[in-house]
């Protein structure tokens, strides 16, 4: 049909096929879910952070049974044991939508001393504009200054002169633990109730980059805040968490973090590589971090972290992190 035919209306004598509104379009060639997004959704879908796995227990260390057995495994004739505390094992996502953080929440609130090497500009990206923050809870800042300088709550502190201008410096957060400290402080401002938080978001380190390290990565962090938690609870939760990622053989190695004591590096036996791989770090937040916030004496916080890139690279067989993340895209 030429343009003239159409204008003359010749098309009126033609027979047209019914339009099939249900016909599927051609599959789009372009577009693909990013491997990091798929790994992130895999992590949540396999409920490594069980968003609401009903669990009737008073200790997270019993969790392992809760998620793997039915009620009649717990006791004879299917009657549930007397339960002291009933709570739903729910992880809430922390608000991590601020890449810019103050040194106060990123370091000082975590009892990380101001002369610690990680606070140096060789390891941390400090901001020029706006270079400082002023909005901090002054009464809490005073308690943090106190615990760094002269201790308290059975701690000796560090015995150095703590400087407010150091805490005011803005930076790109070096870990999502900065958000965890904010959340725990907020939790301490109201009557205590057990909480479980998680976060998965970008963090920034001013470090040498190589095939497996960029100046930024996605940290995954989980924390559980409850009365009377112990290292056994932490190990129980880590077994449950990593079992959902296919790692059921774990080893724990004593480690050091300024904000956790004890701390443990986590190793998992990778059946594919037939070797142990480091799969994360963990610990119990120190009293020097929790008490100045105002959390009750018998409340403990167990926490752990890993990256999103490492498991993604392993799960997708990617050996150069630039193929996964960063400003250059290797097509």
Q: Are 109 and 144 in contact (CB under 8 A)?
A: yes
Q: How far is the CB of 313 from ligand FB9 (least distance, A)?
A: 8
Identify any residues that bridge with 280 across adjacent strands, giving them in sequence order.
266
Complex with ligand FB9: residue 247 or 250, whichever CB lies closer: 247
Residue with the two structure tokens 């599959």 = 27
Complex with ligand FB9: residue 141 or 179, whichever CB lies closer: 179
Using CB under 6 A, list all residues that contact ligand FB9: 177, 205, 219, 221, 245-247, 257, 260, 277-283, 303-307, 310-311, 314-315
Strands (E), 30-110: 92-93, 100-102
Complex with ligand FB9: residue 183 or 315, whichever CB lies closer: 315
Residue with the two structure tokens 């095939």 = 211
For CA atoms 51, 249, 71, 226, the dihedral sign is negative
Q: How far is the CB of 260 from ligand FB9 (least distance, A)?
A: 5
Calpha distance 114→117 (Å, rounded): 9
Q: How far is the CB of 288 from ligand FB9 (least distance, A)?
A: 14
Cβ burial of 73 (10 Å; 0-12, 13-18, 19+) is exposed
Q: How far is the CB of 160 from ligand FB9 (least distance, A)?
A: 24
- Encoding tokens for residue 226? 């409850």
Complex with ligand FB9: residue 221 or 240, whichever CB lies closer: 221
Complex with ligand FB9: residue 103 or 260, whichever CB lies closer: 260
Q: Are 99 and 172 in contact (CB under 8 A)?
A: yes
Residue with the two structure tokens 């100046």 = 215
Complex with ligand FB9: residue 151 or 258, whichever CB lies closer: 258
Q: How far is the CB of 30 from ligand FB9 (least distance, A)?
A: 29
Q: Rounded to whole angstroms, what are the CA distances from 28 to 36, 58, 67?
A: 21, 51, 40
Q: How far is the CB of 281 from ligand FB9 (least distance, A)?
A: 4
């Amino acid at each position: 049909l030429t343009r003239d035919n159409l204008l003359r209306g010749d098309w009126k004598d033609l027979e047209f096929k019914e339009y099939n509104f249900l016909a599927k379009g051609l599959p789009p060639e372009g577009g693909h879910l990013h491997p990091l997004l798929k790994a992130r959704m895999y992590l949540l879908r396999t409920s490594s952070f069980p968003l609401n796995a009903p669990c009737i227990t008073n200790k997270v260390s019993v969790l392992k049974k809760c998620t793997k057995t039915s009620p009649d495994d717990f006791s004879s004739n299917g009657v549930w044991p007397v339960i002291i505390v009933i709570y739903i094992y729910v992880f809430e996502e922390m608000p991590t939508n601020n890449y810019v953080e103050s040194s106060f929440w990123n370091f000082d609130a975590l009892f990380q001393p101001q002369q610690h090497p990680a606070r140096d500009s060789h390891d941390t990206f400090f901001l020029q504009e706006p270079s400082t923050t002023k909005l901090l809870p002054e009464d809490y800042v005073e308690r943090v200054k106190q615990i760094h300088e002269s201790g308290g709550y059975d701690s000796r502190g560090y015995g150095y002169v703590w400087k407010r201008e150091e805490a005011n410096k803005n930076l790109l957060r070096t870990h999502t633990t900065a958000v965890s400290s904010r959340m725990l402080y907020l939790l301490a401002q109201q009557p205590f109730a057990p909480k479980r938080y998680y976060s998965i978001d970008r963090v920034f380190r001013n470090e040498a980059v190589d095939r497996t390290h960029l100046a930024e990565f996605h940290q995954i962090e989980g924390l559980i805040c409850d009365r009377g938690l112990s290292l056994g609870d932490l190990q129980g939760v880590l077994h449950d968490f990593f079992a959902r990622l296919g790692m059921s053989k774990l080893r724990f190695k004593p480690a050091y973090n300024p904000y956790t004591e004890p701390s443990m590096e986590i190793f998992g036996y990778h059946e594919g590589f037939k070797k142990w791989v480091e799969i994360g770090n963990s610990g119990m937040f120190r009293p020097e971090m929790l008490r100045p916030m105002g959390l009750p004496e018998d409340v403990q916080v167990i926490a752990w972290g890993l990256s999103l890139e490492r498991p993604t690279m392993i799960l997708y067989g990617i050996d150069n992190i630039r193929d996964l993340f960063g400003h250059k895209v290797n097509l």
